[in-house]
Amino acid sequence: MDYPTFAADPVIVAAGFVNVADYPQELVEQVISEVACFLPASRWAKGCTDCDRRELAVKYLTAHRLTVLTQAGVVVSANTSGLIPGQISSISASQGSQSLSFAQSPEGTKGAGWLSEGQTPTYWWSLFLGMLQARLVAIGFTS
């Protein structure tokens, strides 16, 4: 996928990712390039003739990463569209003098792959995960 394809999507436009004052084209092109490399074409199902699932995945993951970069302060932008507020890090319950609580250990937030990618929940990440959970991705080995 290229920048013009990304920038032509009405949802991407509505989210503000084509505002070059907030998201310079060179930055967006770099993120698209990294994401496209991360999602090899040979791993994506081709059963749907009306859409390109890999292209959708690249759009969603690019938007996710741009949102995370903005939230982290790496990209200075007024746009924070797509952030899902908060992340459950602990759960507590009590009854009378008895209480029980569970908290995520610091080790639970480390790691590689999809776990670390999704540590900052965004709307875009939810769309991307929805594609994976709907089995729209072909699983297998590539050469």
**pLDDT for residue 4:** 95
> CB 28: neighbour CB atoms within 10 A?
22
Delimit the domains of the chain by residue range. 3-133
Q: Which residue has the tokens 């890090």?
A: 89
Q: What global pTM score does this model have?
A: 0.66
128 Cβ neighbours under 8 A, 6+ residues apart: 57, 60, 61, 64
pLDDT by 10s per residue, the chain, length 143? 899 999 999 999 998 899 888 899 999 999 999 998 888 776 666 665 666 788 888 999 999 989 888 887 777 665 555 555 444 455 566 777 777 665 554 444 444 455 566 677 788 888 888 877 665 445 444 44
**pLDDT for residue 122:** 83
Rounded Cα–Cα distance for residues 87 and 125 (Å): 13
**pLDDT for residue 31:** 94
Q: Please state, in angstroms and as integers, the Cα–Cα distance from residue 55 to each residue in 43, 60, 62, 71, 107, following that order.
A: 12, 9, 10, 24, 33
